[in-house]
Amino acid sequence: MAKGHRSQIKRERNRENRETRPSAKLSYARVSVQKACFVLDAIRGKDVTTAKAILEYNPRYASSLIKKLLDSAIANAENNNGMNPDNLYIAECFANKGPTMKRIHPRAQGRAYRIEKRVSHITIVLDEKGAK
């Protein structure tokens, strides 16, 4: 049986299962998941320099948000993990659904239509080439 307080046991277990790959997360991005995934699908699995070039010339609004997020993930890899940015590639990137803001749009004859302003949580996880 494990010795120590419950919080100490949890802390030890979390330390063993901690993710070591550098990542960055953008919460409550004002773009729908579907629109963000169009851009994320274009860069998934690519190396960092290619992904930055794709995002630079992609006309979609989500690409500007994802480019900032990718720069943040690269900085995390460089400063926190001591990785070389030239060897990095995008191991995982995904967008999860966030809370939807509901607004009312007035229509003819006293009716009201609902407008849903969707929000997403975007995550990018990087990894080094040849590191397994």
Q: What's the confidence (pLDDT) of residue 122?
A: 97
Q: Which residues of 36-61 are buried (b: 16+ CB within 10 A; e: fewer)?
A: bbebbebbbeebbeebeebbeebeee
pTM, 2 dp: 0.83
From 37, 66, 62, select the one nearest 51 (Cα to Cα): 66
- Copy the structure tokens of residue 74: 């690269």
Distance of CA 74 to the CA centre of its chain: 13
Residues pairing with 125 in the sheet: 23, 92
pLDDT tens-digit readout, 51-73: 999 999 999 999 999 999 999 99
Task: Tell me the CATH number for domain 21-128.
Answer: 3.90.470.10
